[in-house]
């Protein structure tokens, strides 16, 4: 069974989670890039409004072919208790038919469960079946602490078994 991790990361914390996860569960990964510049305080404020309104954005790659994968992880940072616009856009452009999906959200302090619920609401009508989810708090955490948290989640949730 092949596993793929799809994620978007503005501050590189979600990328750290996704890449650590990929190493731990032996998965391929694809980082989704938002072609709208989201860096800086004012642009982040606009990004939060876009997330709240679920505005679409231009992304690269524009879509991802999931046909060679059986298990798909989808990860997003938490913005205004919503997934990032790049992830909403990606989900709307992918075919999840027959795919098992594990969702994860990163967050500074809270809102991750709402992100997971919204991603699930968008993936299930596209044929995906959420089999598990988890959240990783990244706010005020050092790189090593985040990596250890991800490794602990992998072990506690027995995530490698889902990719067999």
Please tell me the predicted confidence (pLDDT) of residue 48: 86
Please tell me the predicted confidence (pLDDT) of residue 112: 97
Contact 50, 85 (CB under 8 A): yes
Q: List the beta bridge partners of residue 75.
A: 7, 104
Mean pLDDT throughout 13-39?
A: 96
Write phi, then psi, for 94 (nearest 5 degrees).
-110, 150
The per-residue pLDDT of the chain, averaged, comes to: 95
pLDDT tens digits, residue range 144-163? 999 999 999 999 999 999 98
So where are the chain's domains? 3-163
Is the predicted pLDDT of residue 49 greater than 80, yes or no?
yes
Integer Cα distance of 122 and 127 in angstroms: 10
**Residue 141 CB partners (closer than 8 Å, separation 6+):** 149
From 84, 30, 18, select the one nearest 56 (Cα to Cα). Answer: 84
Please tell me the predicted confidence (pLDDT) of residue 50: 87
Contact 91, 58 (CB under 8 A): no
**Domain 3-163 fold:** Rossmann fold (3.40.50)
**Residue 107 CB partners (closer than 8 Å, separation 6+):** 77, 78, 115, 135, 136, 137, 138, 139
Is the predicted pLDDT of residue 12 greater than 80, yes or no?
yes
The DSSP result for 76-106, as a single string, is EEEETTEE-HHHHHHHHHS--TT-EEEEEEE
pLDDT tens digits, residue range 87-132? 999 999 999 999 999 999 999 999 999 999 999 999 999 999 999 9
């Amino acid at each position: 069974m092949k596993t793929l991790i799809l994620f978007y990361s503005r501050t590189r914390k979600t990328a750290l989670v996704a890449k650590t996860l990929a190493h731990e569960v032996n998965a391929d990964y694809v980082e989704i890039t938002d072609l709208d510049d989201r860096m800086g305080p004012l642009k982040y404020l606009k990004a939060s409004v876009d997330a709240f309104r679920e505005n679409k954005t231009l992304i690269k790659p524009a879509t991802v072919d999931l046909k060679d994968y059986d298990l798909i992880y989808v990860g997003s940072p938490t913005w205004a208790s919503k997934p990032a616009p790049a992830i909403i856009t990606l989900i709307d452009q992918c075919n999840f038919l027959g795919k098992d999906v594990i969702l994860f959200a990163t967050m500074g302090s809270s809102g991750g469960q709402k992100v997971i619920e919204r991603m699930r609401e968008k993936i299930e009508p596209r044929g995906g079946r959420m089999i598990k989810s988890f959240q990783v708090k990244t706010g005020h955490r050092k790189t090593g602490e985040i990596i250890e948290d991800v490794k602990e989640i992998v072990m506690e949730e027995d995530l490698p078994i889902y990719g067999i």
